Chains A and B, each alone.
Chain A
């Protein structure tokens, strides 16, 4: 079945440093979604990418979808303590409406 791998599992940064998490799928995806889960909270939708090579920005967050539609990344510029949480990618294979979540990357920001 479809597998979605996410690295790194944890990332410690000093406030103001950049952060990147990478997501790789074993199969070609129709689209990929990103979610953020704060400690003790539930996943909250951030964005969906559909097109090959797509790049979308939300303030300090930049999301990319690979040309082959099998990988994606989330980059945060100049992290803040409010960025703390676990970031999940969730991939949907063609014809499926059920996302497969990666294990997540936990971001810890030190002030």
Chain B
């Protein structure tokens, strides 16, 4: 069973640029959520995708957008990067509803905006 994978591991971007982060969900999982984790903070929910549709969104501006593909992998896009976007971006997948809503997290992408 392959776990959740994310790419790239680390990324350095300049303010104003755009970035795309990628996530492959765990085998059999059809739901993918993205979180932003600033240093010393808990993960903050960005949005969730289920069957290629956005299924919930946290308090993030529209320049944060995403996609889910038919194989359930996902992308997070951030436009017009700001310094405060520097954080660990975590992708988490979860299986079809089974009464437990646990999240299986990937290793994350560390984004630094300079």
Number of A-B pairs whose CB atoms are under 8 Å?
A: 54
A residues within 8 A CB of B59? 1
Interface of B is mostly: loop
Residue from A44, A88, A98 within 8 A of B48 (CB atoms): A98
Cβ distance A10 to chain B, nearest Cβ, rounded Å: 10
Residues of B within 8 A of A4 (CB): 42
- Cβ contacts under 8 Å, B102 to chain A: 33, 45, 48
**Total count of chain A residues near the partner, CB < 8 A:** 23
Pairwise interchain contact A104-B108, C-beta atoms closer than 8 A: no
Main secondary structure of the interface of A (DSSP, over half): strand
Minimum C-beta distance from A100 to chain B (A): 7
Q: Is the CB of B107 within 8 A of A42?
A: yes
Q: Is the CB of B103 within 8 A of A43?
A: yes
Residues of B within 8 A of A (CB): 33, 35, 40-45, 48, 56, 58-59, 90, 100-108
Q: A residues touching B (Cβ–Cβ < 8 Å)?
A: 1, 4, 6, 31, 33, 35, 41-45, 48, 88, 90, 92, 97-104
